[in-house]
Structure formats: structure tokens, C-alpha cells
């Protein structure tokens, strides 16, 4: 074979291989250092050619829909004081002067329009230009705000202790520098008032800040844990060094290739180093373990003979296990979600580079520095207690109580399936953070005083020009808004053209409350709109309706950004669809809230597809490797059970599926199948050598059980480092993947072993 011939030449070119590997890695490290960037725009996480995102982008252009940074100013004694009102004015002006933000894109009590009736009909003016100083001016301002439903409860809280400034910004202009600028502004204006900052752009900024910091914290810890584990397992500093060098270089290649192809670092990409360090050491452990057994059995052998024997016996399992691990990750390419897709591609690339470095650098290190110095331990001359427990106790008990093992496995599967039915998808970006983190507490504070920091845009479209001047249609819109606000407690406020018309109708009738409704006559609506266009800023109006009055934008403010809330609102809106469709009006959705919902739905569909792809490819690979479809199916049993267990536990523990936890099955399938490969390969060799089924089974559990147990412990130790992450969902991933590794290990040593034993494979009469 070509590969086998190439493998045999590795010892002769050890120095060259080491130098070339280091030089290429240094080059990619420099590329990574120069070109790597963190993607903070959450919209860039989503496929822009998806119909939902295409329409949402169109709607954003029609109605200037943009996410806003919310600055809340709190005065516990009340905001109607000269000092606080002057601070609101100064803050507003300073934010308007930021180059990334247009002057008209900042809304506050200082810039808000107050629609009032006048002798000439209707006037639109600001609430104040000069800061009120005396009690009379302050009381007048308070009265104006209280009488204006478009401002009271929306810009000024009902308690009158908090007011907000909203700065809308284009996502392509938002940067970490702008985030820092807003943080500095907030710090500058603190005292005696409290200043809070929230909004989706701020969430993006915090994620961009915490992501790299998270990686910087976890990578050294995982390296220390892996070094300790390697020294414990391999009992050689030299062996531990080259095994660690393999995974460090593979990590550099993974990030370097991302930078080389101009792929940004997403939040989920920060976990790649932890994954590669935890996964990549497996090849080194198996290779050095084989080398150790060989050198202890053949003390007279030279380093070249030892290396050739190691490569001859280990290149196939190393390549096969690396391929199956890579398949688990590469299957994520089926996802339409960019972070998951690229995470899969470049983690798979890192795994394959770890394989190449294992087959090149480990032999090169031995040829250059010599064989590690191992001494046989006294217990190796006889079967240790640990080996006896594995081979003589666990294996014999499983064979003896085979039906109990099968029943227990069936029970685990049944409970897991029940749990899977409870798994839900979460689109919340805020729930990525700790519940007591500053950004979550700030969001909660603003939600408690206002309509909500999350939004859903409901876009109505008609082919009839002037359709949204029709009072019947506008009354349905108003009824829909009121129904949602009353029925769903997480819907804080809503806003549309109907609110403008209700305000106009009221002020044109001397602020009489009974006229706080949509006018009943179409010509009166047309008259009000004309008056407003002449008196106010029509740009504000065009955020709710298009120029031809054929498209209407309803904004719902939500106090929660998770999928359950969003789906509940959409389900309630569906009840109203016949009302609109009977009038030829189409209902669609837009905005960041809706895109996040579609985003997680794509995660689910992509996850299902990636699991199916990886399972099919691994079954085919095992079938080709062992030339038996039945073995391919048996070898896949542990990872199938492990995946079911993982999702079942998520449902039972109310852990949602989102862009991080969606990775679990593909990771677990790719890594967990390694145990099956090593077990089946050893079982086959023992069966062919000893011709005794029970002896072959006991020896396999005894020999391979220890190796895959050590492998599992190293991987679990690596993934448990994710428990140190600043993001709760990363911690969930670490715990669940570790659990998957454990269940894959147990599944391999129990149900798969038992099925192999009962199937009589390799013992059937020819």
C-alpha cells in the first residue's frame, strides 16, 4: 500500500519532518495573529440567502428597522429634576455626535415629538429644548409626558424614576471600539443618577469581550490537566511533551487555516482549542502505550525497529479513529448556521492534522532524542487487580447476566426517548450569560420599567394602494396589539401607525379620552396624516408604514428573548391571520428577534441532518474496515445509545438546544466510536488467535478495556475544563460531552461487548 510505504520512510526523514512541521506551523501562527478577528454581529451568524432573512432584510430597509443601544437614566427621587433632565440632554447630544450614529437615530425625552392640538389644527414640537428649572416648568413637562401615551411608559417609566435614550445603529457599523465608547460614556455620566446600558448590540459587545477571555482562561487549565494526565498514563516526560506538541500544533493549524481563508472566530469557535487538546492526545496515548509494551518485551530492539513496529501496528487504528472523529465534526457542514458549519470544518481539519503530526512528530521525536526510558512495574509480571476487575469480574458478570444487561439498556433507551420529547430550542442570546451577570441584570431592570428590550416586527402587506388608510384594517391592527399586550405578560408594549392615529384623534378633540381610538372615517385618517407630514418629521412615520400605505410595520416589545416567548406570540398572532387574509393582507415577520427564532430552527434541522450523516458514514466506514455490515451496526450501538442518553437528559433537565449544545451528538459520535474500533479490532485478533469465544472476550475486555478507559478519562478531563467557562451553555456542553464519553465507554464494555459475544461473529463455522 502507498500509505504503508510512506509510513516506513518516516524514521529516515525524522529531522526534515520535524523542521518542516515547525516552520509551517510558525507560518500559520503568524497568519492567525495577523488576520484572526472575532465576529460580533449576530446577524452574520445566519445564512443571508434564507427566505426569512431575505425578507427581513427588505423589511429593515423599508422601515429602517435596526437594533438599538438602550441607555437608561435612573433617579430614584424622580427624573423630573433640572440635573437629571440636563444629563439626558447632554447624553443625547454626545451620542448624536458619535460618527457611527446619525443625529435622527437617537430618541430620548429631549428629542421625542409631542403631538398636540392647536388653534391651527395640529402641532408637533419637542418636550423641551431648554432644561426646565423651576417647579412650574417641571410640572408642565410632567403633565405633557403623562398625557402622551406614545411617550409615557415607552420613554419615561410609569414610576417616573427612569427614562431611556435609544440609539439605533447599523450592524455593519458596530464594533468593539464603539461598544467601549458607550461603556466610557456611561461611566462618565454616572452619579448621582444610575446609568444602565442594554440592547442587542451591547450583548454582541459583551460576547466579543468575554469569548477570547474565556479561551485565554481555559486553554492553560486544559493544558495543565492534560500534561498531568499524560505523565500519569505515559510515565515519560519526553512522551508527554511530544503528545502535547501534536495537539498544540494542530490547534495552531485549525485557527491558522481559519485566518488564511478569512473565516472569523465565532463564539463557538473559542472552544476549538479545548476540544483539540482533549481529543488529539488519544493517538499519542495509544502509540506510546504500544511502544512501551514492545520495548519492555524486546529490550534489545533499537529505536528504529521500535518505531517501525509502532507505525506498522498503529497507523491503521490511528487513521481510522481520526477519520471517524473527523466525520463527526465534518457532518456539521450540513448546518446552514455559519458558526456551527465552520466549527465542524476547522475542528475536523485540526483532528486530521493531529493524526498527521502523531504519525510524523512522535516517530521523529523518538528518532532524534531516543526511546523513552521505561521500567517494568512489579505488577506487570502478573495480572493486576485492575485487570482482574475488568476481565474477570465485569466481563464475566455481563456474560452471566446478559438478559439483565439488555433490559437495563432498554430501560435507559426508553427513559431517554421520553426525555427527548421535552427538548426545546432556545433562541435567546441573553441566556448565554450568567443569571446574575451585569448584562442580564441590566436587561431585567430595563424590562421591569419598560416594554422590553427584545422586539418582533410583524409586517403586513397589501397589493392595494392606500390599504392601510382603511379604518377597518387599522382597527384590527389596534385590536391585535391590545389583545397581545393583555393576553401575554411578556409583551410589554407594541407600536404601529394605529398609535399615531389614536394620538392625533385624541389631541384634535381636546385630549378627550373617548377619542383615544382609530378614527372611523377614511377621509379623517387621510387628513390627520397630511397634517402630521406637514407639522412633524415624516421619517418617523415611515418607520411604521411605507409611502404608498401598502406595507405596515407593527413592533412588539418583549421582556424575554427566548424561543418559548416568541413562539407563544406567533401562535397568538396566527389566530388573527384570517382577519387579515380576508382583506387581501399578507402577514410576515422581520427583525432580529424573528431571525433568532429561525436561526435556532435551522440549528435543529442541521443537527438532525448532521447526526444522520455521521451515523451513516461511520457505519459504512466500520463496515468497510471490518468487511462486515453487521459489525458496522454493532460498533455503532454505543454512540447511538450515547446520543439518545444525551438528548434525553437535556429534556429531563430542561437544558435547551441551541448553537452550542447542538454540537453534542456530532462530537460524541466522532469521539465515542474510537472505543468501538479499538475493541472490535482487539476482539477480532484474539478470536483468530485463540479460537475460544469466552477467552477472546475476557482478554479483549482486559486488554482494550484499560486502554479505552484511559482514553476516555483524558477526553473527559479535557472537556470538563469547559465548566470554567463564563458562558453557562459552554458549561452544559462540557458536562454533556463528558457524560457522552462515559456512556460510550460503558456502552462499549457492556451492550456492544455482549452483542458481539452473543452474535458469534468470528466464531461461526465456515
Per-residue pLDDT of 493-540, as tens digits, reads 999 999 999 999 999 988 888 999 999 999 999 999 988 888 766 788
Mean pLDDT of 223-238: 84
- Rounded Cα distance between 428 and 267, Å, is 14
Residue 273's closest CA among 287, 289, 294, 256? 256
Q: Would you mind telling me the total number of residues written for the chain in this entry? A: 766
Report the distance separating Cα 728 and Cα 676, nearest Å.
31
- Give the SS3 label for residue 332: helix
Q: Read off the C-alpha cell for 497.
A: 401607525
Distance of CA 506 to the CA centre of its chain: 47
- DSSP letter at 563 equals H
pLDDT value at 464 more than 90? yes
Q: Minimal CA–CA distance to 11: which of 336, 389, 306? A: 306
DSSP letter string over 473-509? HHHHHHHHHHHHHHH-TTEEEEE-HHHHHHHHHHHTT
733-761: per-residue pLDDT in tens? 888 888 888 898 889 888 998 898 888 88
Using pLDDT thresholds of 50, 70 and 90, give the confidence band for residue 3: low
What gap in Å lies between CA 592 and CA 237, rounded to an integer?
52
Residue 347 confidence (pLDDT) above 60: yes
Residue 584 CA to residue 581 CA, distance in Å, equals 5
First-to-final CA distance of the chain = 29
Mean pLDDT calculated for residue range 234-248 = 89
- Model pLDDT, residue 764: 62
Instruction: Tell the residue number behind the cell numbers 500509505, with chain if given.
Output: 3
Domains in the chain with CATH codes = 2-42+205-371+388-421+597-759 (1.20.1640.10), 63-204 (no CATH), 451-591 (3.30.70)
Helices (H), 10-81: 14-35, 51-63
Predicted local confidence at residue 394, as pLDDT: 73
C-alpha cell at 454: 427584545
**Mean pLDDT, residues 376-384:** 49
Instruction: Specify whether the CB–CB gap between 622 and 631 falls below 8 A.
Output: yes
Query: For residue 220, what pLDDT is reported?
Result: 86
Can you tell me the distance from the alpha carbon of 640 to that of 152, in angstroms, rounded to the nearest whole number? 56
pLDDT at position 666 is 72
Identify the pLDDT of residue 132.
92
Residue 765 CB coordination number (10 Å): 4
Q: Is a pLDDT exceeding 90 seen at residue 357?
A: yes
Q: In degrees rounded to 5, what are phi and psi of residue 534?
A: -80, -30
The pLDDT score that the predictor gives to residue 331 is 82
Q: Is 154 helix (H, G, I), strand (E, B) or coil?
A: coil
Phi, psi for residue 423 in degrees, rounded to 5: -70, 135
Determine the pLDDT at residue 499.
Answer: 94
Output the average pLDDT for the chain: 85
Q: 409 or 316, which is more confident?
A: 409
DSSP string, 192-214: SSEEEEESHHHHHHHHHHHHHHH
| Position with higher pLDDT, 378 vs 684 | 684
The Cα–Cα gap between 406 and 751 comes to 7
Confidence of residue 416 (pLDDT cuts 50, 70, 90): very high
Comparing C-alpha atoms, which of 717, 679, 666, 753 is closest to residue 328? Answer: 666
Q: Taking a C-beta distance cutoff of 8 angstroms, is the pair 681, 627 a contact?
A: no
CB-based burial of residue 737 (10 Å sphere; 0-12 exposed, 13-18 middle, 19+ buried)?
A: buried
**pLDDT at site 36:** 84
Query: What is the grid cell recorded at 447?
Result: 424590562
Amino acid at each position: 500500500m502507498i500509505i504503508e510505504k510512506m509510513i516506513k520512510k518516516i524514521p529516515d526523514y525524522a529531522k526534515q519532518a520535524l523542521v518542516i512541521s515547525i516552520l509551517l506551523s510558525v507560518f500559520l501562527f503568524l497568519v492567525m495573529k495577523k488576520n484572526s478577528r472575532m465576529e460580533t454581529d449576530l446577524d452574520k451568524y445566519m445564512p443571508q440567502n434564507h427566505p426569512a432573512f431575505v425578507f427581513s432584510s427588505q423589511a429593515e430597509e423599508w422601515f429602517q428597522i435596526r437594533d438599538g443601544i438602550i441607555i437608561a437614566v435612573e433617579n430614584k427621587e424622580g427624573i423630573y429634576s433640572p440635573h437629571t433632565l440636563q444629563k439626558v440632554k447632554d447624553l443625547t447630544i454626545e451620542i448624536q455626535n458619535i460618527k457611527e450614529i446619525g443625529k435622527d437615530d437617537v430618541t430620548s425625552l429631549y428629542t421625542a415629538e409631542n403631538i398636540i392640538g392647536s388653534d391651527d389644527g395640529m402641532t408637533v414640537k419637542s418636550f423641551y429644548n431648554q432644561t426646565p428649572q423651576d417647579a412650574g416648568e417641571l410640572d408642565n413637562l410632567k403633565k405633557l409626558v403623562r398625557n402622551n401615551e406614545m411617550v409615557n411608559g415607552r420613554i419615561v417609566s410609569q414610576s417616573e424614576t427612569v427614562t431611556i435614550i435609544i440609539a439605533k445603529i447599523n450592524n455593519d457599523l458596530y464594533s468593539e471600539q464603539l461598544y467601549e465608547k458607550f461603556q466610557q460614556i456611561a461611566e462618565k455620566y454616572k452619579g448621582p443618577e444610575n446609568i444602565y446600558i442594554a440592547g442587542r448590540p451591547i450583548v454582541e459587545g459583551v460576547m466579543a469581550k468575554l469569548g477570547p477571555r474565556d479561551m485565554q482562561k481555559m486553554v492553560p487549565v486544559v493544558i495543565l490537566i492534560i500534561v498531568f494526565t499524560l505523565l500519569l498514563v505515559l510515565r515519560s516526560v519526553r512522551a508527554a511533551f511530544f503528545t502535547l506538541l501534536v495537539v498544540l500544533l494542530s490547534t495552531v493549524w485549525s485557527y491558522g487555516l481559519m485566518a488564511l481563508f478569512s473565516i472569523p472566530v465565532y463564539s463557538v469557535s473559542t472552544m476549538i482549542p479545548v476540544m483539540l487538546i482533549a481529543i488529539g492526545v488519544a493517538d499519542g496515548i495509544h502509540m506510546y502505550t504500544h511502544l512501551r509494551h514492545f520495548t519492555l518485551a524486546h529490550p534489545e530492539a533499537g529505536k528504529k525497529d521500535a518505531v517501525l513496529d509502532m507505525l506498522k501496528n498503529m497507523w491503521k487504528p490511528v487513521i481510522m479513529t481520526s477519520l471517524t472523529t473527523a466525520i463527526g465534526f465534518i457532518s456539521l457542514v450540513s448546518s446552514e448556521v455559519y458558526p456551527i458549519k465552520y466549527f465542524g470544518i476547522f475542528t475536523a481539519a485540526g483532528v486530521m492534522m493531529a493524526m498527521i503530526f502523531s504519525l510524523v512528530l512522535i516517530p521523529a521525536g523518538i528518532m532524534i532524542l531516543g526511546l523513552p526510558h521505561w521500567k517494568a512495574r512489579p505488577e506487570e509480571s502478573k495480572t493486576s487487580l485492575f485487570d482482574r476487575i475488568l476481565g474477570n469480574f465485569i466481563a464475566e458478570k455481563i456474560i452471566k447476566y446478559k438478559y439483565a444487561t439488555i433490559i437495563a439498556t432498554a430501560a435507559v433507551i426508553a427513559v431517554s426517548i421520553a426525555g427527548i420529547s421535552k427538548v426545546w430550542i432556545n433562541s435567546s442570546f441573553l441566556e448565554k450569560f450568567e443569571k446574575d451577570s451585569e448584562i442580564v441584570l441590566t436587561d431585567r431592570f430595563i424590562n421591569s420599567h419598560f416594554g422590553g428590550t427584545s422586539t418582533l416586527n410583524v409586517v403586513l402587506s397589501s397589493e392595494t394602494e392606500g390599504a392601510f388608510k382603511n379604518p377597518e384594517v387599522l382597527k384590527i391592527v389596534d385590536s391585535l396589539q391590545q389583545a397581545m399586550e393583555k393576553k401575554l405578560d411578556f409583551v410589554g408594549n407594541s407600536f404601529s401607525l394605529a398609535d399615531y392615529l389614536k394620538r392625533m384623534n385624541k389631541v384634535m378633540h381636546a385630549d378627550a379620552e373617548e377619542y383615544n381610538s382609530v378614527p372611523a372615517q377614511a377621509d379623517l385618517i387621510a387628513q390627520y396624516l397630511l397634517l402630521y407630514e406637514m407639522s412633524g418629521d415624516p421619517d418617523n412615520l415611515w418607520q411604521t408604514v411605507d409611502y404608498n400605505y401598502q406595507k405596515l410595520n407593527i413592533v412588539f416589545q418583549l421582556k424575554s428573548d427566548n424561543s418559548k416567548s416568541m413562539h407563544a406570540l406567533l401562535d397568538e398572532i396566527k389566530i388573527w391571520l384570517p382577519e387579515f387574509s380576508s382583506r387581501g393582507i399578507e402577514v410576515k415577520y422581520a427583525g432580529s428577534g424573528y431571525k433568532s427564532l429561525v436561526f435556532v430552527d435551522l440549528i435543529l434541522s442541521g443537527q438532525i441532518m448532521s447526526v444522520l450523516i455521521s451515523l451513516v458514514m461511520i457505519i459504512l466506514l466500520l463496515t468497510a474496515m471490518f468487511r462486515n455490515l453487521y459489525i458496522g451496526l454493532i460498533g455503532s450501538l454505543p454512540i447511538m445509545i450515547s446520543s439518545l442518553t444525551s438528548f434525553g437528559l437535556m429534556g429531563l433537565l430542561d437544558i435547551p438546544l441551541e448553537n452550542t449544545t447542538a454540537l453534542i451528538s456530532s462530537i460524541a459520535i466522532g469521539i465515542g466510536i474510537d472505543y468501538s474500533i479499538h475493541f472490535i479490532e482487539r476482539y477480532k485478533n484474539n478470536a483468530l488467535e485463540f479460537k475460544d469465544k469466552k477467552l477472546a472476550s475476557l482478554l479483549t475486555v482486559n486488554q482494550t478495556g484499560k486502554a479505552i478507559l484511559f482514553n476516555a478519562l483524558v477526553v473527559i478531563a479535557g472537556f470538563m475544563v469547559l465548566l470554567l467557562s463564563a458562558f453557562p451553555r459552554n458549561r452544559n456542553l462540557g458536562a454533556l460531552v463528558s457524560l457522552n464519553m462515559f456512556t460510550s465507554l460503558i456502552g462499549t464494555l457492556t451492550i456492544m461487548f455482549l452483542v458481539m459475544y452473543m452474535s458469534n461473529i468470528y466464531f461461526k463455522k465456515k
